[in-house]
Amino acid sequence: MQDEQLAIAEGDPVLQSSFAAELVRQMRAIDSYGTSDSWPANKVLDPFILTKERLRELPLVGDPDEIVIARIQAFYNAIAAQIEQECGLQASPIISLSHEGFGRALMIVGKLVVMDRALRDVHRFGFPSPSKMKDEADKLLSVALEIIGDHPQVAGL
């Protein structure tokens, strides 16, 4: 993949965010061969961006492959790591998918469910732009932290 084909510019301000840094860390952690270790952050995060052109190339109906599922897990793992950094409590993402690409993503802190997302058409998992990806992650993080703040006793169990 050459730089001009990447959907994220090398100097994109989103790459400087703590979420992007954590997502890069999560993506490199699942790369068992170390292929992405020498890649810049924009190349590592590029598969998360589905431009209109990229979406047109994907079928409307399809089964997710293990690469897409790993990408989904990395996204929610990055959010869990940020929850842990913010409040000091362990967050555990739980992702349950059918072979057709439908399911749920839950985030558990202690005995408290701080996120419950329905997942559908996960073979098309992605975001239109890096800023939309960061906005979605920030929204999930802020809601989770608010729920933890409202129920600290349950989150601490």
Structure confidence at residue 2 as a pLDDT band (50, 70, 90)? very low
So what's the pLDDT on residue 136?
A: 97
Q: How far is CA 70 from the centre of its chain?
A: 10
Whole-angstrom distance, CA of residue 97 vs CA of residue 66: 11
Q: What is the pLDDT of residues 106-150, one digit of tens each?
A: 999 999 999 999 999 999 999 999 999 999 999 999 999 999 999
Structure confidence at residue 62 as a pLDDT band (50, 70, 90)? confident
Look at residue 71 and tell me whether its pLDDT is greater than 60: yes
Quick check: helix, strand or coil at residue 107? strand
Look at residue 1 and tell me whether its pLDDT is greater than 60: no
Whole-angstrom distance, CA of residue 66 vs CA of residue 13: 30
Q: What percent of the chain has pLDDT over 90?
A: 85
24 within 8 A of 38, measured Cβ to Cβ: no
Q: Tell me the backbone φ, ψ of residue 89, rounded to 5 degrees.
A: -105, 145
Q: What is the pTM of this model?
A: 0.92
**In CATH, which of 1.10.3100.20, 1.10.10.60, 3.30.200.20, 3.40.50.10490 is domain 11-155?**
1.10.3100.20
Q: Quick one: which of 104, 107, 48 has its CA closest to 83?
A: 107
Residue type, 45: L
So what's the pLDDT on residue 76?
A: 98
Radius of gyration of the chain (CA): 16
**Domain positions in the chain:** 11-155
Q: Where are the beta strands (DSSP E) in the chain?
A: 91-97, 103-109, 112-119
